[in-house]
Chain A
Amino acid sequence: DQQVKQNSPSLSVQEGRISILNCDYTNSMFDYFLWYKKYPAEGPTFLISISSIKDKNEDGRFTVFLNKSAKHLSLHIVPSQPGDSAVYFCAASAMTSGTYKYIFGTGTRLKVLA
């Protein structure tokens, strides 16, 4: 059972435009969410996080939106740059018995075209 889903395996966007990456989850107990980007042969790089007490968090060109009722979050990158081309993962966690673990989606490959 895939609790965190990234239904778009790939996305192509023109340089300078907005990239929107989507993530859906099924577990209503998830209350912390992270976004990562990953280049080949490197570990995932942390981008931005959001807790369930917020519906938006912004850091430079990256903004994450959380819609708890829809169990949906999205990452907006504005403006998109060729260097943003990578695989993007969302991850979600819930606190259970004093501990937590992150469940990752399968990733979306973003290609920013120059």
Chain B
Amino acid sequence: ETGVTQSPTHLIKTRGQQVTLRCSSQSGHNTVSWYQQALGQGPQFIFQYYREEENGRGNFPPRFSGLQFPNYSSELNVNALELDDSALYLCAGGGRGEQYFGPGTRLTVT
């Protein structure tokens, strides 16, 4: 049990639509990171939030954006969905020495 939960579990969207994925940390981790995991690949870093500010970003376009709230919950927003956005989206809370992942949201874009 990592104390990190994500919702929804699965989601199907149409190309061009927008989606919001949610993450909450029961342990109150003040740093949250979001990752995209395509089939057969390792997780790819999207961005990290620390105390409600973006604190590092991977090679993802601006249509991937996020928020972190005072209660350390977080959202990942993706605009103008593309077929290649189909993946497992993971959030992780914790510090540099330990990152605890949630179960992920499986997004399918058709």
Contacts and interface: CB of A to CB of B under 8 A. Distances in A.
Given A49-B98, A93-B96, A102-B33, A43 B55 contact: no
B61 interface: no
A53 B48 CA distance: 25
Contact of A105 (B35, B40, B42, B94): B42
Nearest to B98: A46
B2 A106 contact: no
A88 to B, nearest CB: 10
Contacts of B94: 46
Contacts, number: 66
B45 A101 contact: yes
A40 to B, nearest CB: 11
Interface residues of A, number: 25
Contacts of A32: 96-97
For the complex, would chain A's binding face be called helix, strand, loop or mixed by DSSP majority? strand
A25 interface: no
B81 interface: no
B42 to A, nearest CB: 3
Contacts of B66: none
B97 A106 contact: no
Given A43-B2, A45-B2, A102 B41 contact: no
Nearest to A104: B42
Interface stretch (B14-22, B69-77, B99-107): B99-107
Contact of B58 (A44, A91, A101): A101
Interface in A27-83: 32, 34, 36, 41-46, 49, 51
Closest 9 CB pairs of A and B: A104-B42, A43-B101, A99-B56, A101-B45, A43-B103, A44-B101, A104-B43, A99-B55, A43-B104
